[in-house]
Structure 1
Amino acid sequence: MKQQFLNLAFILAISVAFGQTTVDSIVNKGIEFHDTGDYQSAIETYKKALEIEPNSSLVHTELAMTYMYNQDYENAIKHSDLVFEQNGDHLLPAYITKASSLDYLGKPDEAISLFQEGIEKFGDHFLLLYNLAYTYYEQEEYEKAIPILKRGIASNPDHSSSHFLLGEIMSLLNRNAESVLNLHYFLFLEPNTDRSVTAFNMLLNKYGANVSQDEEKENQINISLDPEQSSGEFGPANMMLSMLGATNMIEKKEGKSEMELFISNTESVFKILGELKDDNENSGLYWDFYIPFFHDLAKSEHLETYCYYISLSVNDKSPEWLNENSEKTEAFGDWLQGLNTENQETQN
């Protein structure tokens, strides 16, 4: 009898393992459908997995997410709640999916409360922080979104969307120097996507913000800065951005190319911000994270390479330049690796 029990247990264990393998393979197929945008096929695939393992938190999580992308927010919430009921694995994505679905359903207050609950449970996870900030952004509560995004970037500096959203918000608030830093770092992380085109054009608009040319007097250039832009810790940098616009108008007439102007402007902005940091005791994300990196870059021999790299989405000549200057491109990569190693040693 004991031997028979052991044999039965072995058979059951094999069956469970086989079932799990089958569920995982079905889920992987569903993910493939999801990633290609075929949400309906993904949903049908996940349902097959539920027939094998009805209480799989993994399947309910993936199904909830696909329902959300398919704009079926009620079902997204339903399957997220099933993950919550199990109170086991996959709670983090369930928080994000349900809260985002509530936001899409026009219930931002409920979404915000759920994001905050998730942050209390999981700490400063960058995805929870980003989505909470995005909800505030959609409600035009920009000042609430800013510190949350800063916490998210501190949690994961490589999350490009956080830099992009912060850059958008700073732009809307006419905090141009800060927006320039956000957009530059976003482009450093994500140089060649549709969003990169938007970010690069926003960046160009900041180089020369508040500058206009008199239509009747061709040689007269007008600069207008409101008191908030010209004062405060970023006041000198905002003034310089406007001065760059005036300088660009002159240098274009002298035959400088758009890329030459962009490289020159970038160097000027990075250097003046670095000098401002050296001259004061300001601290925070911009002064302790963005500015030291970009100031070091401006002082290095790699700024030109960097500028061609981040302009891949808008400059047809950038891929050609990077290919033709492969030694410079590799040297830039080595410099970044050395900087990363140095930072890790400092932290340790």
Structure 2
Amino acid sequence: MKNIYILLLATLFTIQLNAQNNINIFIEEGIAHHDNGDYDKALDAYKKALILDPQSTVVNYEMALSYFKKKDYENSIARADIVIDKKEDNVISAYLVKGSALDMMGKVKESIKLFEKAIRKYPNEYLLYYNLALNHYKLNQMDKAKENVIKAIENNPNHGSSHWMLANIEYAKGNTVQSLLANHYFLFLEPDSARSLDAYTFLRKNFGGNVTQDKDNAITINVSMSEDDDPFSAAGLMLGLMGATNLLPENSDKTSEELFVENTDSFFKILGELKDKKQTGLYWNFYVPFFYDVANSDHLETYCMYISQSGNEDPTAWLDANTKKVEAFDIWLKEYSQ
């Protein structure tokens, strides 16, 4: 009797193992079709897997993703809900797909409520905060967008999209210095992607402050001073002074890269010197200390060339010709992060 029981268990285990292997084969097939943009074939493969395990969170999530790509948002949400209700693997990804589907259907406020609900359950998931911030940004609710994208950064400082969104939010709010800091960090993380050129152009356009020069070479600095006690006001004024200094005759022989390094050095150092114990938050506790340390290291020029490579051939050539400096900067960064 004992031998029969063991045999039955072995048979059951073999059947389950074969079924799981078949599910995995169908999933891999579906993913391959999905990656090739053939979402109908992907869904056909997933449906075969679903016959073997209708409640599989992996299969239902992959189906939600393929339906989303097909712009079949109703079915995408239905599959995502199965994963969310199971509260197992892929639950965060399912929330993201469902929230994005609601957004694409024009139900932005419902998407916001969904992400808020998800954050209450999973308060450390940076992508939930990022997508919530994105929805507020679309509704022009900049304060809420800023609040949530900062939380995304606090949970994952290496998420480039969050820094880029913060740069755009601050620019929309008229906070040039804060915008530049976030933009600098985005380019530090992502110096040569498709969107890096936009970020680099944005940085160079706004880095010299609002300065004009008339036909008689008279220089005018336009500075918008904050009505409240804004600790960034002095840095904002310095941006204008830097822009004016760049136009002086004694700087006419300097390359744009040389001026950029000098201006970046001044910008980072004055912010570091302005910092005191009263100032808290992401800017003063994260951006400013890091950039101040970069400015006081031997690697500022390397940093400037590194973040400039998307918009200029000269920095790229400089990086290729100075591999030892690049390696030294990399070593410094690794030691800095420890």
How many residue pairs end up in the alignment?
338
Q: Determine helix, strand or coil for the equivalent of 2:288.
A: helix
Task: Say yes or no: does 1:254 pair with 2:245.
Answer: no
Deviations 1:274-302 (A, max 9, x none): 01114x62111100001000000001110
With over 3 angstroms needed to count, the CA separation of the structure-2 counterparts of 1:229 and 1:164, relative to structure 1, is farther
- Out of 306, 310, 314, which is 2:307 matched to? 310
TM-score by length of 2: 0.93
Q: Which runs of 5+ in 2 are unaligned?
A: none
Deviations 1:184-232 (A, max 9, x none): 1111111111111111111112212322233xx3412222222328951
Residue in structure 1 matched with residue 102 of structure 2 by the alignment: 102
Residue in structure 2 matched with residue 48 of structure 1 by the alignment: 48
- Out of 219, 222, 243, which is 1:221 matched to? 219
Aligned mates of 2:72, 2:269 — CA distance in 1: 49
1:99-178 map, 5 Å: 99-178=99-178
Q: Which runs of 5+ in 1 are unaligned?
A: 342-348
Q: Determine helix, strand or coil for the equivalent of 2:197.
A: helix
Residue in structure 1 matched with residue 241 of structure 2 by the alignment: 243
Residue in structure 2 matched with residue 284 of structure 1 by the alignment: 281
Identify the range of structure 1 (39-48 vs 116-125) with the bigger mean alpha-carbon deviation: 39-48
Q: Determine helix, strand or coil for the equivalent of 1:194.
A: coil
Residue in structure 2 matched with residue 19 of structure 1 by the alignment: 19
Aligned mates of 1:22, 1:328 — CA distance in 2: 52
Task: Say yes or no: does 1:340 pair with 2:337.
Answer: yes
Deviations 1:298-338 (A, max 9, x none): 01110111111111211223333222211111100110011
Q: Determine helix, strand or coil for the equivalent of 2:275.
A: helix
Residue in structure 2 matched with residue 294 of structure 1 by the alignment: 291
Identify the range of structure 1 (87-96 vs 1-10) with the bigger mean alpha-carbon deviation: 1-10
- Out of 293, 301, 323, which is 1:326 matched to? 323
Aligned mates of 2:264, 2:227 — CA distance in 1: 19
Residue in structure 2 matched with residue 28 of structure 1 by the alignment: 28
Identify the range of structure 1 (189-198 vs 1-10) with the bigger mean alpha-carbon deviation: 1-10
- Equivalent residue letter for 2:182: N
- Equivalent residue letter for 1:237: A
Q: Determine helix, strand or coil for the equivalent of 2:212.
A: strand
CA RMSD of aligned residues (A): 2.1
With over 3 angstroms needed to count, the CA separation of the structure-2 counterparts of 1:48 and 1:180, relative to structure 1, is same
With over 3 angstroms needed to count, the CA separation of the structure-2 counterparts of 1:19 and 1:72, relative to structure 1, is same
Aligned mates of 1:273, 1:287 — CA distance in 2: 9
Deviation at 1:98, TM superposition (A): 0.8
Deviations 1:51-105 (A, max 9, x none): 3322211111122123223322212111111223333332211111111211111
Residue in structure 2 matched with residue 204 of structure 1 by the alignment: 204
Name the % identity: 42
Q: Judge conservation of contact 1:270–1:298 (CA < 8 Å) in 2.
A: yes
With over 3 angstroms needed to count, the CA separation of the structure-2 counterparts of 1:132 and 1:251, relative to structure 1, is farther
Q: Determine helix, strand or coil for the equivalent of 2:195.
A: helix
Aligned mates of 1:73, 1:245 — CA distance in 2: 49
Aligned mates of 2:224, 2:257 — CA distance in 1: 29
Aligned mates of 1:186, 1:36 — CA distance in 2: 30
Aligned mates of 2:329, 2:5 — CA distance in 1: 65
- Equivalent residue letter for 1:79: R
